[in-house]
Amino acid sequence: MRSIWNGAISFGLVSIPIKLVNATESHSVSFRQIHTEDGGRIRYRKVCELEDREVTQAEIGKAYEDADGSMIPITDEDLSQLPIPTARTIEIVAFVPEDRIDPLQMGSAYYLAASGAPAAKPYTLLREALKRSNRVAIAKFALRGRERLGMLRVVGDAIAMHGLLWPDEVRAPEGVAPEAGVTVRDQELDLADALMDTLGEIDLDDLHDEYREAVEEVVAAKAAGEKPPEAREEAAPGKVLDLMAALESSVRAARESRDGEEAGPAEEAQVRSLPQRETSSRRAPKETGGKKSTSTAAKKTAAKRTAAKRATEPKKAEPKKSTAKTAKTAKPAKSAAPAKKTAAKSAAKSAAKKTAPRRRSA
């Protein structure tokens, strides 16, 4: 990592040569301004208002704008003469518990890297002293033309420094809190505690910038000449006017999301059971309704089927030559009793003729 500042940590009479390295980086997608008609880049030019011409960087200096609008030039030589003891030194002024630092004061973060072998021993000494004391170091340093306040703490095996705002740079929260008096009930506090417990903790490494990822997908799609992906339509939350109902719903939703593995099968079971209920409820009226409204028609239909079956039975028996005589003698035996008593063939034929009309009439 490239250092942005070289100096030393002043720890009493101990001096620790260090290099200042950025501890954070931005992953946000940056855009350029273009001319929409032809895609040409739009650039800013530095123009002198009095001469109405573009000037080079070498012609540009610093100035302080007074209350009346007049400009007071300030040169680099003027700034170099300022009595700042922290020009190249991070001067530790105190050691305090970490909870004494208001997070509102914390700004940019840097790593302090030991510069060279001679800095290894005092660097390690300061690091281990901070660890054992469970405190942080408050320091003053100069960076980019101004004196700043910083907090040194241990991160792993390194020493990190957070830039701090001066106490008078933090605004008081006046007019921010609601002015109307509001009473919170114990039941609401209990539900709020339950919601906090249900949400629990989270590993910050699992969080990511979804907006940046979506922008990168759009850029990649347009670069490939494809249509950008459409945004997902999220269901709008229902309006809950009752605070207790909102808290209860939040606790329920948090528990379901946390217990995702258990909630998944339950949802599938509900989806599977719904079609069964609908099918059974639809079939039941058809069966009961059919029995009540078509009982007479069903009887007639059954009678017709029986008659048709009896009428076709002799025809089905004709192809079976081996059993034809048996079928002829067996059927008439049930309907014509005289055929059993008489052994003559003429009596059997006459009995068969008598039974045939009965089948057709049935």
Instruction: Decide: pTM greater than 0.85.
Output: no
What pLDDT digit, counting tens, does each position of 32-57 carry?
Answer: 999 999 999 999 999 999 999 999 99
Predicted local distance difference test score (pLDDT) of residue 236? 62
Q: How confident is the model at residue 252 (pLDDT cuts 50, 70, 90)?
A: confident
Q: Beta strand pairing status for 89-97 and 3-11?
A: parallel
d(CA 305, CA 311): 10
In percent, how much of the chain has pLDDT > 90?
A: 36
Residue 162: pLDDT band (50, 70, 90) is very high
- The DSSP letter of residue 215 is H
311: Cα separation from own chain's centroid: 73
Q: Is the pLDDT of residue 316 over 60?
A: no
Nearest to 136 by CA among 147, 146, 148, 149: 149
Low-confidence winner among 104-108, 153-157, 245-249, 334-338 (lowest mean pLDDT): 334-338
- What is the C-alpha R_g of the chain? 48
Instruction: Write out the H or E segment, with its range, that includes residue 263.
Output: helix 260-293
Strand, coil or helix: 347: helix
Q: Given this model, what pLDDT does residue 5 score?
A: 84
In this prediction, residue 81 has a pLDDT band, given cuts at 50, 70 and 90, of: confident
pLDDT at 290: 43
Q: Which of 89-103, 195-209, 225-239, 253-267 shows the lowest mean pLDDT across its residues?
A: 253-267
In whole numbers, what is the pLDDT of the chain averaged over residues?
A: 76
Nearest to 348 by CA among 360, 324, 361, 331: 331
